[in-house]
Amino acid sequence: MIGIPLMVKGKAIGVIGLFCPKSVEAGRIQQERLDFLTTIASQVAIAIDNVKLYQDLEQKVTELRRLQGQLIQTEKLSAIGELVSGVAHEINNPLTSVVGFTQLLLETTENPRDREFLEKIFSEAMSCSEIIRNLLTFARRHPAEKSYNNINDIIRKALELKRYQLETDGVEIIENLSDSIPPIWVDPHQMQQVFFNIIHNAHQALLEKKKLSTSPLRLTIASESRNGLVSISFHDTGQGILPDVLPKVFEPFFTTKEVGVGTGLGLSISYGIVKEHGGEILIENLFGEGVTFIVTFPINGQGRDRRVAEGAKGGSYAGRRILIVDDSNAALEMCTYILRSEGFRVEGVESGRAALERLRSEDYDLILTDLGIADMPGLAFHDALLKEYPVMAEKILFLAEERINPEARRLLEERKVEILYRPFGMTALKEAVYRSLITSLKA
């Protein structure tokens, strides 16, 4: 046998082996035959090289197309982000009022039928505000605002938003929450969003199941801590996830739901949040029988700011004076109602200037204002307080939009003032006011 190398640009890329008669092997091959074979070999080598080049080129074109697609997708996403955050912003304010006024009516309404309707309005409005929160989180990722929290309380809050609907749809809810979980260093709003998204998915899956069979609809939520990890599991007895769908569920905008039912953002947002907290989301899928979502976090970050958790309990705050700076903002109007019903002495002024005027002669325990008051927007009002009434500059609670730009948010947070982001419910408002009062009474 003789071998003829396949040469391209001075490099051998292979060899052609020829079985030859014995005479040739003995070294008596004619030169012209050898030249002929070498010419064929070089043509073959060029052809092979061309195929390789073509394959490389094809691969590069595919890669280029993928990158281009990604770029278009990113641009599309950022355009969608702009759009949704604009719309969400417009909906946020009225929604805050709907939630707040409904809660107020719930406190005073005795008639069971009216209460039932009000509870429905409340839970639907809260579902809307969770959707808005999802959209805002998607549009602009905020850094987490972490503090020590009781994870069970967060689970319960998320569940409360869906309890009415779940029970109305005949879903049995089983809560197995462990009492021995230490406080966890998380952003409570973001975490509530994660739990809400998972519970919301479970509810939708159970509704689908209900159409197909009469088997019991059950949602089991459990929490436990073990080996330095806290884990929260959500098991539903829905249909489970189709095996070919499973790898895609965390992708943004991936949904198997009809238009108007799902946007495909819930799990992708939840995944981002959980990752940012150093945790994981695991799925145990029993297709046909249901699915379990398990969220785990490390228990870490000991000894940080426990002031709020401990301080909120003691002390009587009824009768404390609160000044609300309100340039006809419905959300602030609602705050006035709620805080008065808590026993605070609430007074209102209509502008930043009027507030400064009032402070000349009056003393307050807290000022509650919006970041957007017309005559002194943004930090201008706070600057004026710092200059004229520095003590009051520490006794302030700002209401702000979730979507304020990151730079404004940073500046605001640098001042170490209390901020309540919209949309908020009555409980969040009360908590923020008590928290601010604890700080302000120490000041």
Ligand X SMILES: Nc1ncnc2c1ncn2[C@@H]1O[C@H](COP(=O)(O)OP(=O)(O)OP(=O)(O)O)[C@@H](O)[C@H]1O
Residues in touch with Mg ion (CB under 5 A): 201, 266
**Contact (CB, 8 A) for 230 and 224:** yes
Q: Which does 102 bind (CB under 5 to 8 A by kind): Mg ion, ligand X, none?
A: none
Q: Which does 332 bind (CB under 5 to 8 A by kind): Mg ion, ligand X, none?
A: none
| Nearest-approach distance from CB 288 to ligand X, in angstroms | 11
Q: Which does 268 bind (CB under 5 to 8 A by kind): ligand X, Mg ion, none?
A: ligand X
Over the window 217 to 256, marking each residue x when it contacts ligand X by CB under 6 A and - when it does not, the resulting string is -------------------x-x-xx---x---x----xxx
Q: Which of 287, 200, 192 is nearest to 232 (CA)?
A: 192
Cβ neighbours of residue 98 closer than 8 Å, sequence gap 6 or more: 121, 125
Nearer to ligand X, 259 or 318 (CB): 259
Q: Of 6, 99, 202, 334, which one interacts with ligand X (CB under 6 A)? A: 202
Q: Is 263 in the site for ligand X (CB under 6 A)?
A: yes
Nearer to Mg ion, 122 or 293 (CB): 293
How many other CB atoms sit within 10 Å of the CB of residue 76?
11
Nearer to ligand X, 123 or 201 (CB): 201
Q: Which does 130 bind (CB under 5 to 8 A by kind): Mg ion, ligand X, none?
A: none
Nearer to Mg ion, 221 or 397 (CB): 221
How many other CB atoms sit within 10 Å of the CB of residue 99?
23
Q: Is 137 in the site for ligand X (CB under 6 A)?
A: no
Distance between CA 223 and CA 273 in Å, rounded? 18
**Contact (CB, 8 A) for 369 and 398:** yes
**Three-class SS state of 350:** coil
Q: Is 88 in the site for ligand X (CB under 6 A)?
A: no
Q: Which does 438 bind (CB under 5 to 8 A by kind): ligand X, Mg ion, none?
A: none
What tokens were used for 73? 């997708």
Nearer to Mg ion, 155 or 334 (CB): 155
**Contact (CB, 8 A) for 171 and 290:** no
Strands (E), 178-259: 184-186, 218-226, 229-236
| Nearest-approach distance from CB 275 to Mg ion, in angstroms | 17
What tokens were used for 49? 């090289």
Q: Which of 379, 440, 423 is nearest to 99 (CA)?
A: 423
**Contact (CB, 8 A) for 183 and 150:** yes
Nearer to ligand X, 175 or 289 (CB): 289
Distance between CA 276 and CA 44 in Å, rounded? 55
Nearer to Mg ion, 264 or 372 (CB): 264
Q: Which does 291 bind (CB under 5 to 8 A by kind): Mg ion, ligand X, none?
A: ligand X
Distance between CA 190 and CA 230 in Å, rounded? 17
Distance between CA 421 and CA 200 in Å, rounded? 23
The distance in angstroms from the start CA to the end CA of the chain is 97
What tokens were used for 437? 């009062």
- C-alpha of 187 from chain center: 10
Q: Is 291 in the site for ligand X (CB under 6 A)?
A: yes
Nearer to ligand X, 163 or 358 (CB): 163
Q: Of 149, 201, 237, 369, which one interacts with ligand X (CB under 6 A)? A: 201
Q: Of 41, 132, 136, 265, which one interacts with ligand X (CB under 6 A)? A: 265
| Nearest-approach distance from CB 157 to ligand X, in angstroms | 18
Q: Is 423 in the site for ligand X (CB under 6 A)?
A: no
Contact set with ligand X (CB under 6 A): 197, 201-202, 205, 236, 238, 240-241, 245, 249, 254-257, 262-268, 291
